[in-house]
Structure 1
């Protein structure tokens, strides 16, 4: 793809990152309204009992669907960051490359963020760095209902995440639960490490 418009997710799915890594220009949506039950505040990992969702609690102000994503505040009254870190550690501490990336994510989760957009932006930029993606990246200036380039914003919606591609790599609990496709990109990072980029490029979407 030449240019794509993508959402800013909580880490983002393997499918989304496969699109990103194959594109020449990436525009991140920065003026959309916040929607519940999307990858804006959710990610999925492979835990001991199967697919596990981790959700960032947010403060809802006004009618849902009319609050700007950029203005959504994280509800830090709960210890969600520690819970997410523990879940990730339990799921991946025996994966081949967890020790290479553990400190990076620990540092992010140890920092204080008031807004969901800012927290996700930090993680997004760090994953770009880990995958050595040097593509031209920008943020949208206004909301465009029908952009003139490839619109991938729907990939943030859970129900649109249909796993319509073939992929296979070793996962920590694959013997117990079988292979689980299209999880958070961190599942791929922890399990395959430096080959993550080449795998993302080879996925046929």
Structure 2
């Protein structure tokens, strides 16, 4: 694996508890720059993540004001809190990972996060990202875009992966570890970083490297 920093600046959209491939790429980068000036794109990890369940992958999706087809600048995308989605997501996580080795260790802080209401999707995503970093023991350098630039090909320091890591079209994930329902479902690659945390704890950071 390449040494940390070889990717320069990772430019990418914010994600709801990002994927393992996201973190593998981030660890190889000097810093991450989140795109907040783009228009929201549906069918992405911006408002969804996948975890492991007894019958395979489970989708957790954050409901949005105006729905998934809106053309709103990402920093202005609002969460629809009319339905108890955080409660539902937390119950799903608890059901799926109660038997995992590390769930109870992270449970208190994570439960507080799911009890806090957020208005904007970007703020929720960043809170999830910060939790995952603390849990991993990882301190990346983080920036946000102030303007939208469609093309960064002229800047070799920027690795532009905006809308490159998409559900069903992920980059190959070679990281394998023991999953809760692995004997039943087989290994499920490139789930949310939460799956790695609950199964491997802080050792997850070493596995990502």
* TM-score normalised by length of structure 1: 0.91
CA distance in structure 1 between the partners assigned to 2:177 and 2:132 by the alignment: 19
Q: Does 1:161 align with 2:166?
A: no
Match in the other structure for 2:51: 45
Paired residues for 1:70-149 under 5 Å:
70-147=75-152, 148=155, 149=158
**Equivalent position SS for 1:27:** strand
**Equivalent position SS for 1:52:** strand
Q: Would you say how many aligned residue pairs link Structure 1 and Structure 2?
A: 199
Contact kept? 1:154, 1:160, Cα under 8 Å: no
CA distance in structure 1 between the partners assigned to 2:49 and 2:140 by the alignment: 24
Match in the other structure for 2:37: 31
> Could you say if the C-alpha distance between residues 80 and 172 of structure 1 is closer, same or farther in structure 2, counting changes exceeding 3 Å?
same
CA distance in structure 2 between the partners assigned to 1:176 and 1:64 by the alignment: 36
> Could you say if the C-alpha distance between residues 155 and 191 of structure 1 is closer, same or farther in structure 2, counting changes exceeding 3 Å?
farther
CA distance in structure 2 between the partners assigned to 1:142 and 1:196 by the alignment: 34
Runs of 4+ that moved beyond 6 A: none
Contact kept? 2:15, 2:47, Cα under 8 Å: yes
> Deviation per CA, 1:59-103, whole angstroms, max 9, x where unpaired?
117x93521111111111111111100110111110000011111
* TM-score normalised by length of structure 2: 0.90
Q: Does 1:56 align with 2:62?
A: yes
| RMSD after superposition | 1.6
**Equivalent position SS for 2:147:** coil
Match in the other structure for 2:20: 14
Gaps of 5+ in 1: none
Gaps of 5+ in 2: 1-6
Contact kept? 2:19, 2:193, Cα under 8 Å: yes
How much has 1:151 moved relative to structure 2?
0.6
